[in-house]
Chains A and B, each alone.
Chain A
Amino acid sequence: DTGVSQDPRHKITKRGQNVTFRCDPISEHNRLYWYRQTLGQGPEFLTYFQNEAQLEKSRLLSDRFSAERPKGSFSTLEIQRTEQGDSAMYLCASSPPGGGATGELFFGEGSRLTVL
């Protein structure tokens, strides 16, 4: 499968614990995005990388959230001191250099976080 892959698919943790999600984009894509989707809502933009540079961050990304893309390939999203309100699906997406012909984003299956 050459699509966007995310790991783990499901994570259950206790409040206060740290969690980390990994995203592997489509290999030739240099743009990578993280979104958060809560039940019944559309995906909300969190942050965006072009290669290894984090170019944009949403105000939703509090101090407890950090994202990295150290070598411009895979990315990690870490949530420290998790809260119950962090329970959501975390979606990763990628797109080609320059956004490609249209700007289409290709999504992974997501990582579902449940904070008890």
Chain B
Amino acid sequence: GENVEQHPSTLSVQEGDSAVIKCTYSDSASNYFPWYKQELGKRPQLIIDIRSNVGEKKDQRIAVTLNKTAKHFSLHITETQPEDSAVYFCAASRGATGANNLFFGTGTRLTVIP
């Protein structure tokens, strides 16, 4: 099955700096790569996703890059704000071509220091 690895496990940045979280995956058939943000005691919420037919996607301060050849993808948050503090999970699935059950990384706890 799919194996998703995520680094770092914790990340502290000063407000206004950028944060980068990296993930690798093992299943070459995976074609959908979402990122979820989870605040304490809350549900995971999708913040951005990317399909395998594109290499980069951006939404305001958040961007995701994908390298299918190397099987890794990254989340970039620019101009970080205290409300960005949360646990972020990457995930991979076969998307709409398969069962699309997600395989998650182990999470990155991001702390933005005011």
User: Does the CB pair A43–B44 fall under 8 Å?
Assistant: yes
A25 at the B interface (CB under 8 A): no
User: In the complex the two chains form, what is the Cα distance from A33 to B32 in whole Å?
Assistant: 17
Total A-B pairs, Cβ < 8 A: 68
User: In the complex the two chains form, what is the Cα distance from A68 to B29 in whole Å?
Assistant: 28
Choose one: B34, B100, B103; the contact of A99 (CB below 8 Å): B100
User: Does the CB pair A104–B34 fall under 8 Å?
Assistant: yes
Question: Taking A42-B106, A43-B89, A43-B104 as contacts, is the C-beta distance between A102 and B49 under 8 angstroms?
Answer: yes
Closest Cβ of chain A to B86, distance in Å, is 13
Kindly list chain B residues whose C-beta atoms are within 8 Å of the C-beta of A42.
Answer: 4, 6, 89, 91, 104-107
User: In the complex the two chains form, what is the Cα distance from A110 to B91 in whole Å?
Assistant: 18
1/0 per residue, CB under 8 A from B, across A82-116: the answer is 00000000010101001111111101111000000
Number of residues from B at the complex interface, CB < 8 A: 28
User: Does the CB pair B43–A102 fall under 8 Å?
Assistant: no
User: Does the CB pair A40–B107 fall under 8 Å?
Assistant: yes
User: Does the CB pair A100–B106 fall under 8 Å?
Assistant: no
Number of residues from A at the complex interface, CB < 8 A: 27
Kindly list chain B residues whose C-beta atoms are within 8 Å of the C-beta of A109.
Answer: 42-43
Question: Taking A99-B95, A104-B34 as contacts, is the C-beta distance between A48 and B89 under 8 angstroms?
Answer: no
Which residue of A has the minimal Cβ distance to B102? A105
Kindly list chain B residues whose C-beta atoms are within 8 Å of the C-beta of A104.
Answer: 34, 46, 49
B96 at the A interface (CB under 8 A): yes
B72 at the A interface (CB under 8 A): no
User: In the complex the two chains form, what is the Cα distance from A105 to B103 in whole Å?
Assistant: 12
B93 at the A interface (CB under 8 A): yes
What would 13 A/B residue contacts be, using CB atoms closer than 8 Å? A42-B89, A42-B104, A42-B105, A42-B106, A43-B89, A95-B100, A98-B96, A99-B96, A102-B96, A103-B32, A103-B95, A103-B96, A105-B100
